[in-house]
Amino acid sequence: MIELEYYLIVSILLFGIGLFVCIGKKNIISIVMGIELLLNAVNLAAISFSRYGSEFESQSDALSGHIFVIFILTVAAAEAAIALALCVLVYRHLKTINVSDVSELG
């Protein structure tokens, strides 16, 4: 059986990669993909803590991690849809999706 530490190591690696992508890239779509990696790293950590938290007093406490992950997935889906729609609008207006070229909205 895989232990909790391995899940947390993968979660930390995902979070680090997502943070590197968010900070290092200038493409809006790459930044959105980095944010998705950050959210998935948090989801993995929440699910693994919920799975290995055998010291919970009730079953509803154990399921709180799952409910938190469902909430994060909903927010991530809405964020991705809105971000991609904004990318399309910015590209139509400015003909670029580089963050450094988008300095004014008018």
Residue 44 lies in a domain: yes
Q: How many domains does the chain have?
A: 1
Read off φ and ψ for residue 25, nearest 5 degrees. Answer: -95, 155
Residue 56 lies in a domain: yes
HSE at residue 100, side-chain half, CA atoms within 13 A, is 5
Measured CA to CA in angstroms, residue 13 lies from 23, 41, 47, 62 at distances of: 15, 8, 16, 25
Residue 37 lies in a domain: yes
CATH at residue 62: 1.10.287.3510
Residue 72 lies in a domain: yes
Range of the domain at 52: 4-94
- Written in H, E and C, the secondary structure of 5-40 is HHHHHHHHHHHHHHHHHHHHCCEHHHHHHHHHHHHH
Residue 99 lies in a domain: no
Per-residue pLDDT at 55 = 65
Residue 49 lies in a domain: yes
Residue 85 lies in a domain: yes
Residue 87 lies in a domain: yes
pLDDT values of the chain reduced to their tens digit, one per residue, 106 residues? 788 899 999 999 999 999 999 999 888 889 999 999 999 999 999 888 888 776 667 666 667 778 888 888 898 899 889 989 988 988 898 888 888 777 766 5
